[in-house]
Structure formats: C-alpha cells, structure tokens
Structure 1
Amino acid sequence: MESWIVQTQALRKYYKLGNNTVKALDGVDFKVREGEFVAIVGKSGSGKSTLLHMVGGLDNPTDGEVYVDGRKLSKMNKEQLAVFRRRKVGFVFQSYNLVQDLNVYENIVLPIELDGGHINEEFINNILNLLKLTEKREALPCTLSGGQQQRVAIARALASKPAIVLADEPTGNLDTATSHDVLGLLRVVAKQYRQTIILITHDQDIAQLADRIVRIEDGRIVKGSGADD
C-alpha cells in the first residue's frame, strides 16, 4: 500500500429498506497517508459516518475492500478485528462515553488496562499536558466542562498510541470557540506522535483545520474534493 495507511477500493454498503435499496456507500475509493489529518464533510445521510465505521472495522461492506496499515480487514475474523480496533484505532465520538465513577487519569488508561497492555506513564503525562488536563488528572467527569470531557475522550483515544484516530462529529456538543480549541489540540498531539486522523464533520470551519478535505455526497466521493491527492 506504499505510503497509504488507509485505502478503500470500490467500497459499497447497501441496505434494504422495504422494497428499496439504500446505497450508503456506492463505490468509494479513498486514501489517507500516514500522519495526515483528513476531514470528511457531507450532509446527514451522505455516507460519511458509514465510511468511518468501515475504516474502523465496526461494520462490514457489501462489496469492496478496506486496507489499514497494509492489512485487508475482510481477512480478519471477529476476534482479530476486536484486537485490531483496540491496538490500531482510537475512536472519538460526539458523546464523550466517559465512565462517571472514574477520574480523568483512570478513564484515559482504562482501554489499555482492559487490553492487558503496558501503561507508559511518561507518554500519558505528555498527553495530559498537551491537552491541558494535568490539573484535572484526579477530577471526575461530572466536574468538567464539555470541552474538558471531550479532551479526556481524545486523550483516551490517543493513549494506546494507535496508528489512526477516527473522530465522528467530536465537537457536535461544543460551541464554536471550544470546538476549535479541542480540534486544534487534537491536531497538535497527533502531529507530534505522527498519528493519522480521519475526522467526520458537517462544519466547514472545523474542516479547515485538516490537511485535506474530502466531500461525500449520496455515498460517493465528489470529484475534485482531494480524495486521491
């Protein structure tokens, strides 16, 4: 796959809705370089979240292939896909999904502990510092603002040093200023550790923070959007 850490080939995802066939993805060829920050933009129902789920191994395509870091996801069984998601991909969603009874640090390292991995304390401390969370290390989620909770969710996604971070409308619950602050910090951290980011957003201003913007409409990449730049 040369320099492409993510590549899809003729990717299709069709659903049956009564007598109709919904083409959520309809032949998508999509590539992302290692260390690149790509924003996928499109209206609700355009297929952008479906594409993200395919890349993250959360759903199976009707046809076509997904390659991540040189591996074909269709060749993996359920157990292998679960390991792939834990170790290769960090997920950030609109809902923060923090465990309310755990403090900031405990939330961040929880996925590593569940996977039986080693916690690199120096790395975690660096992330806390970069995301401006050091002073909130022992705080419970209920005491944090929305922007702070989303930064904790980002720190959790980055903590296991995944090759790819997939962010699905991560700033949907935040105001404009906080959104730019949070995404700016995500960019800084990911660039420092050469992690690849694929961001789903409907917000053109947020998309401008990315290295490249790809537009999707009706399950297809719009030509000239930068999909294969």
Structure 2
Amino acid sequence: MRVAAAATLGMLGATAPAKAVTLGEPAPRLAPHVVMVVERQGFCSAAVVAPDVVLTAAHCVAGKEIRVMIRDAANAPVLLAPLGVAVHPQYDKGGAQARRRSIDLALVRLPAPLPSGFLPATLGENGRPAAGESWTVAGYGLGEEGDPRTGGQFRAAALPVIEPYGPSTILVWLRSSTPGRGACTGDSGGPIFAPDGSLGAITAWAEGAGKARCGALTQGVLVAPQRAWIGKTLAGWGR
C-alpha cells in the first residue's frame, strides 16, 4: 500500500498518544529535517532540502491542493501554501500498482524560508545500499495502524536493508525482524536516513504481514540517483 492519507486537518490539531508501535521512537535530533504535507483527505511527511524547499513523494502532492504544516513557538499548527510544486518527470501515477518504473518524488517550494529551528538534510550519495545496512525511517505517520489519534507525532526507527528482488539503483527496501515496525499511513514522503546521516531515500510504499497494511516492508526511492533532477529544479528556483 501507499502510505499517504490518514487524517483530516481537524485531527492534526489534536494531541496524539505516544505509543510509537508502528514506526519507532521520538527522535528530536532528526525532527528539524522533517515537516508535514497536508491536504483535505490526509497527510504525508517531507524532508527539508533547502531553507524554503521540501522533498516528498509525488503521490502526496500530484494533482492535489496541499499545505506544508509546521508548528509555531506556541506549538500551534501553521499551514503554508506552496509557491510551486515540481513532480519528477518519470513519476508514473499507477506505476506502483502495475509494477512499472516510477520515480515517486516531488519538490515543494515554500513562500518563505522555514523558521530557524528547521535544517536542510544533506543529500545522500549512496546509490546502492547494501543488504544488512541499518537505515532510519522517519515521519509523522501513525504510531498504531488504524488509529488516527496516533498520527502527527514525529518518530523514527532503524531498519535493516533487504534485497527481495536484488540490488536496485532506484529503490531501497527495509524490513525489521520486529513485527509491526516500519512505515505506516502518513509516513509517505518522509526521509529515510542512510548510515552516515544523509538523506538516503524518500518513503513511498509499505505493506504489513497478514491482514496488516503497515509495519512489515518499507520501500523508499533512493535520492542519490536523482540528485541531478533535484539540483536542476533547485537551480531553476534560484537555490
């Protein structure tokens, strides 16, 4: 399943229990690199890549009216209307379901730089992660599958890389030995950090075991092979 929509804007203002069942634990060190992307039916996560630009999954923003959500000093939600959205030219809307090649990435330009508490992540250079490496999935998605009250809190979890179809220059797959640990609804577009702390991938898809839809397999689009597109887009925006 894709892990995009889960909560309405009304839910985002609520305080969610910190169960952290599905994704992981609070990670204040990584939080400055991540924001939320919200639309009428749900929300995603996104990685900060420039003072006024975030990188997310294309399926979170393509054809949608979105806002980037941050919280002010009083912890009140602030919704920012984007100045522009650039979807990767090789994004295929139906690609995941049809198992076609799709680069599920998009850049979102904000109307002004984010507050000083946010920091751009360093773009990764590792285009071929090795099986067994520990990469860290992060986002604002559900802490407990099916319970929207557990969304909206930032969490992260270190997961080992696997190669179910062999090594890939487009995707990375992660699977934990702990049942239920992995990306879930609302984590699409969030960062997956490489072992060196750089932004290694963007979460695009997840599946669960049995009847579950989250917490078994997490898939991300690798950033390193797309750095030329990211750089060209940022340059076009004067960054």
Flag the structure with higher helix content.
Answer: 1
Q: After TM superposition, is the score higher than 0.5?
A: no
State the TM bucket, normalised to the shorter chain: under 0.3
**Structure-2-length-normalised TM-score:** 0.27
Structure number, greater radius of gyration: 1
Higher relative contact order (CA 8 A, sep 6+): 1
